[in-house]
Amino acid sequence: MQRRVIQIIIIYLIGLAYAMYLTSDFLLGILIVGFMIYHIVSIQNLNRTLEQDLDTSVRSLQYRLDKSIQEKKATLEQVLSLSDSFSFGLLMLDEEGIIQLANKDMKHYFDLELDQKPYDALRTIEKLYDFVHQSYILESNLRRQIVYAGADYDLISTPLYENNIFKGCFIIIHDITILKNAEKYQKQFTADVSHELKTPLSTIKGFSEILLRDQDIDTDKRNEFLELIQEESLRMERLLKDLMIIAQMDRVDYELELVESPIDEIITETYTRLSRVMDNKSLSHSISVEPMTLAVDPYKIRQVLSNLINNAINYTDQGSIFIEGYVDETDYVIKISDTGIGIDDSNREQIFKRFYRVDKTRSRKTGGSGLGLSISKNVVQRHGGSISVDSKLDEGSTFIVRLPHKDNAIL
């Protein structure tokens, strides 16, 4: 700026000297000096205005930039707090590969502190790191399932673009462990059902083929084969009935039909219905039940009691069966005790699983489907209760059903 003023002064002084040399007019000299001063002052004023304008522009630019950064930060915080309420993990990288957002679930799944760190921070979890790395490098949609610390995760990445320029990527992480387990369980269940159906079916097929092929079989043998065919058909029928109960209970909208019912009468009815079978097996039996009205699904509770009493009969060759029902502080307690074969420690929990039998041959002889206890457990739990067993091998078992009353009841 100073240089410019000096240049102007030099030009005017040259002009003044030349004018003086030509005209020696003093007034002309004063006029030129006047112009020079006016020129310098104008230039200085102009510069000052320009500087002020520049200052204002820079300040307004700075202000707008700050505002935009603050807005972005606020939006990010909003997204973060919103994403914390999602039931899936969320990770957002910017174009530099810096983690701008990692929600609560994401941190919880992988136990990492990630905010504002480069995605290299994920290296400890190799499969997750590989996925994030590829999403970032390839700038495209990706999907992959990984297993980490015994849990299954479904990863989906989406690139973010602004005016066709890559701005980072979003990665959504779903914990699909429950789904995967359900899938595994479903596969196992289908395999078990097929296996259970295979034996009676091949028996029916085999004996019916013999009967059709060999017309000379004597009547006794023919009857024996026909009885076997009937037995296996009944087994299949029972299995299908139990499977239908399971299918019904597995439905999401399944609900018990709770009715205030005299639980003592339900127990006595079931006991009386089955006492003829106990008599036929020469098993002594008795019952002692305290009266009480309880909110239960009577049909389902009857099924549970039938199953437990039938088991007591099937797994007891001699001795007795005793049914007890009484009220304690929290529950109505039903005990079904037998002096049968008993269950050892290693099988006590297992017997409540679908298709689990301690002795397959014995269970087959009694026509059991291996589903009774698992159905019973499900029904009792849906009533808010529990089922357990006390047992000693070769001495007998006591199955204990607890159904909550009043304060604990599910009504």
The residue among 291, 242, 297 whose CA lies nearest residue 265 is 291
Q: Contact between 363 and ligand ADP (CB under 6 A)?
A: yes
Q: Contact between 357 and ligand ADP (CB under 6 A)?
A: yes
The residue among 233, 180, 174, 223 whose CA lies nearest residue 203 is 233
Six-digit token pair at 297?
């699904």
Q: Contact between 359 and ligand ADP (CB under 6 A)?
A: yes
Six-digit token pair at 243?
């499977």
Is the CB of 203 or the CB of 363 nearer to ligand ADP? 363
* C-alpha to C-alpha distance for 84 and 102, rounded to whole angstroms: 9
Q: Contact between 312 and ligand ADP (CB under 6 A)?
A: yes
Among 351, 387, 401, 409, binds ligand ADP (CB under 6 A): 351
In contact, 251 and 289? CB cutoff 8 Å: no
Rg (C-alpha) for the chain, rounded Å, is 44
Minimum Å distance from CB 406 to ligand ADP? 30
Minimum Å distance from CB 393 to ligand ADP? 9
Is the CB of 340 or the CB of 404 nearer to ligand ADP? 340
Q: Which stretch binds ligand ADP (CB under 6 A): 140-148, 208-216, 319-327, 354-362?
A: 354-362
Size of the site for ligand ADP (CB under 6 A): 22
Is the CB of 125 or the CB of 313 nearer to ligand ADP? 313
Which sign does the torsion angle of CA 310, 316, 321, 323 carry?
Answer: negative
Residue 65 burial (10 A CB sphere; 0-12, 13-18, 19+): exposed
Q: Contact between 358 and ligand ADP (CB under 6 A)?
A: yes
Among 200, 298, 325, 340, binds ligand ADP (CB under 6 A): 340
Burial per residue of 329-354, b for 16 or more beta-carbon CB atoms within 10 angstroms, e otherwise? eebbbbbbbbbbbbbeeebeeebbeb
Is the CB of 66 or the CB of 359 nearer to ligand ADP? 359
- Residues contacting residue 311 through CB under 8 Å, at least 6 positions apart: 368, 372, 373, 399
Among 89, 200, 368, 404, binds ligand ADP (CB under 6 A): 368
Minimum Å distance from CB 128 to ligand ADP? 42
Number of residue whose CB is nearest ligand ADP: 368
For residue 217, the Cα-to-chain-centroid distance in whole angstroms is 59
Minimum Å distance from CB 293 to ligand ADP? 28
* C-alpha to C-alpha distance for 67 and 59, rounded to whole angstroms: 12
The residue among 114, 124, 110, 118 whose CA lies nearest residue 136 is 118
In contact, 36 and 9? CB cutoff 8 Å: yes
Q: Contact between 369 and ligand ADP (CB under 6 A)?
A: yes
Q: Contact between 303 and ligand ADP (CB under 6 A)?
A: no
Give how far Cα 125 sits from Cα of 57, 71, 136, Å. 48, 33, 16
Q: Please list every residue from 382 through 401 that binds ligand ADP, using CB under 6 A.
A: 397
Q: Contact between 274 and ligand ADP (CB under 6 A)?
A: no
Six-digit token pair at 396?
């007998």
In contact, 336 and 303? CB cutoff 8 Å: no
Q: Contact between 311 and ligand ADP (CB under 6 A)?
A: yes
Q: Contact between 196 and ligand ADP (CB under 6 A)?
A: no
Among 343, 401, 403, 409, binds ligand ADP (CB under 6 A): 343
Minimum Å distance from CB 196 to ligand ADP? 11
Minimum Å distance from CB 395 to ligand ADP? 10
In contact, 247 and 371? CB cutoff 8 Å: no
Is the CB of 264 or the CB of 338 nearer to ligand ADP? 338
Minimum Å distance from CB 307 to ligand ADP? 6
Q: Contact between 344 and ligand ADP (CB under 6 A)?
A: no
Contact footprint for ligand ADP (CB under 6 A):
307, 311-312, 315, 338, 340-341, 343, 351, 356-359, 363, 368-374, 397
